[in-house]
Amino acid sequence: MMQFLYQSILPFILSALVVIIIMFIAERYGSKVGGILGTLPSTIVVAFVFIAITKGDNFASDAAAVVPAELGFNVIFLFIFALLIHRSTLFAFISAFTIWTFLSSLLILFEITNIFISLGIYVICLVSTFLILEHKKKIISIGQVKVHYTLKKIVTRGILAGIVIAIAVSLSNVNSIISGIFSVFPAILTSTMVICVRDHGPNFAAGMAKTMSIGISSVALYATVIHFLYPTYGIVIGSLVAYLLSFSLTMIIFITRNKIK
């Protein structure tokens, strides 16, 4: 019973609670600010705390090693979406998920467990896609928008996030790579894009996708820090230091956001 509580119930509840503010930020302050602040480490914090509780600090550290690479593929997911959203929302999602699934399967096939290889993959994905969106496609961010918030929208996003993180923690029983991959499964990115397209149109969604790609850097930093700190300093100190560093990076990105189109 306790194992089920730690692997499913508590991760589900906590993850659902921490994600409902993402679209509020985006819709209140625009796609540029929202895309950056909305990607602060949230569900990943819950996921790895409970992975560490159920499987140990070393296992959580190993699972975190694959996260930067997987986040790089999340950037690819957003990139494909931003390129194709003006054609068809469904086509954009099917294409993005197909490529994401293929790339993620390569991490399992080649057993990517080296944090430096993982970081290298992330940097390559981030830099190449951003340069294309910023300078070649010239996708721009959209300013502040107004929206009517509904209980259904908030609850749906919370449930979606809770399910994904509960699955990620449960998959720690399989192996660390799969658990790490699902800890950053693009469920929140998907729901964010769906709401953006539905409420504000493809231009806002594409701009949101571009700035979220940059904001994801704070999550990659979080995973990297806990990879190194969990085995030595444990869950509490490792998580606190990782979050402080990630928050600092987010603030740097936020302050320099005006350089992004």
Each residue's pLDDT tens digit, 233-242: 999 999 999 9
Smallest CA-to-CA distance from 176 within 122, 246, 108, 127 is with 108
The model carries a pTM of: 0.86
Identify the band that residue 215 occupies on the pLDDT scale cut at 50, 70 and 90.
confident
Residue 232: per-residue pLDDT: 96
Helix segments in 132-186, DSSP class H:
151-170, 176-183
pLDDT per residue over 115-171, tens digit each? Answer: 999 999 999 999 999 888 877 766 665 555 555 556 677 677 677 777 877 787 887
pLDDT per residue over 24-76, tens digit each? Answer: 665 566 555 655 566 678 889 888 998 999 899 999 999 999 999 999 999 99
Domain ranges of the chain: 14-256
Query: What is the number of H-type helices and E-type strands within the chain?
Result: 13, 0
